[in-house]
Amino acid sequence: MSAHASTVITGTTPLWYATRATGVISLVLLSASVVLGILLQTRAATENWPRLVVAGVHRNISLLVCVFLAVHILTAEADTFAPVGWWAVAIPFVSTYRPLWLGFGTVAADLFLALIVSSLLRTRISHRTWRLIHWAAYLCWPIAVIHGLGAGTDTRTPAVLLLTLACVAAVLATAVWRLISNWRSHPRARVAAAAAGLASIITAALWALAGPLAPGWSAKADTPTRGGAAPTAGTTAAALALPVSASVTGTVQTVATGADQQTVTLAGTGGSDVFRIAITGPPNSGGGVQMTASQVTFGTAASPNLYTGTITVLNGDTIQARVTDPAGAKATLTVVATISGSQLTGTLQAIAGG
């Protein structure tokens, strides 16, 4: 998480940290399990690691993934500042927070559940059925990686990035070895698998470089359909054409508004548009407030209160608000703010609907 944002906005920090940490650990353990699973298939073994032991470790690590994955999901649920929604745990793409990338997480978790349940029931189902379901591991793992890159706010942190790369490298190296060793059997299937694997890796790498690893991803992650280019300049006083995407600068002010209450106000301009976000609540010991109420306005310089509404997501450096205009038209405002002292810089996106 970017170091400078936490002075103003904090959610339920321990839960959010737990979610991110268990997410990373789950991915590492899952990658280890996949590596061992592939090694089992290639009949690899050494003196000190007989295949019986490799099989046992593969099983135990997979069960450990269950534990960390469960904590990851539960903490994400409990964290009300990133309303994932209980349905989103099982059904992909219905979360209101970063629906697309969280959806991938849900898909991976669903696939993983199928893997675990089928493996626990292995002696009761036919071997062919179990084997068919287990192939889903080759789908579950990359989706989990993509989920981590897309939904995680830590993606550009060197530590997490390095870990992810290490996991990907390990799995890829093992998979390549599986394809090459004993390549004489099923040569066509191996070539097809290699081609498919290579294509997905290149696509994923390009996407990662352009997407999660580029700055400003967090804001874009909330908006699956990106807005247009510069905001329309010279619009009439009463009209503001959406979508809008702009860099913003502004100020931050904290004012006591009650016995145990403070209001943090972020106000800024981007292009010809202005916004004002007020967050009210009991102060946090480490700075910032625990939001109990909020008020958001967005509009042009001439009509600053064109859209009004409240915050829906408050997470790290990202603020998402649902606003409506007097006619009832809805819009979703997303501000990613980097704060130092009382100055703020960042990006603003506004799209219709929400």
Partner 1 sequence: MTREESSGPRLRLNPIQCEAHGLCLQALPEMLTSDPWGYPVLIDAPVPPHLLAHARRAVTVCPTLALKLD
Query: Closer CB to partner 1, residue 136 or residue 267?
Result: 136
- Please, how many CA atoms are within 13 Å of residue 117, restricted to the half-sphere of its CB? 7
Which residues of the chain form contacts with partner 1 (CB under 8 A)? Answer: 40, 43, 50-52, 55-56, 122-123, 127, 130
Output the smallest distance, CB 48 to partner 1, in A: 13
Query: Closer CB to partner 1, residue 119 or residue 303?
Result: 119
Tokens 């697309």 appear where? 100
Enumerate the β-bridge partners of residue 246. 348
Q: Which of 283, 242, 267, 282 is nearest to 335 (CA)?
A: 267
Query: Closer CB to partner 1, residue 55 or residue 193?
Result: 55
Q: Which of 200, 298, 311 is nearest to 263 (CA)?
A: 311
Query: Closer CB to partner 1, residue 78 or residue 121?
Result: 121
Output the smallest distance, CB 123 to partner 1, in A: 6
* Residue 204: C-alpha distances to residues 109, 111, 200, 293, 350 (Å): 20, 20, 6, 40, 28
Query: Closer CB to partner 1, residue 55 or residue 213?
Result: 55
Output the smallest distance, CB 21 to partner 1, in A: 33
Output the smallest distance, CB 248 to partner 1, in A: 58
Query: Closer CB to partner 1, residue 52 or residue 229?
Result: 52
Output the smallest distance, CB 186 to partner 1, in A: 14
Query: Closer CB to partner 1, residue 52 or residue 159?
Result: 52
Output the smallest distance, CB 166 to partner 1, in A: 28
Output the smallest distance, CB 59 to partner 1, in A: 9
Q: Which of 1, 144, 14 is nearest to 69 (CA)?
A: 144
Q: What angle do helix axes 137-151 and 158-180 make, rounded to 10 degrees?
A: 160
Cis peptide before 243 (omega within 30 of 0): yes
**Sign of the Cα pseudo-torsion (28, 31, 35, 40, in order):** positive
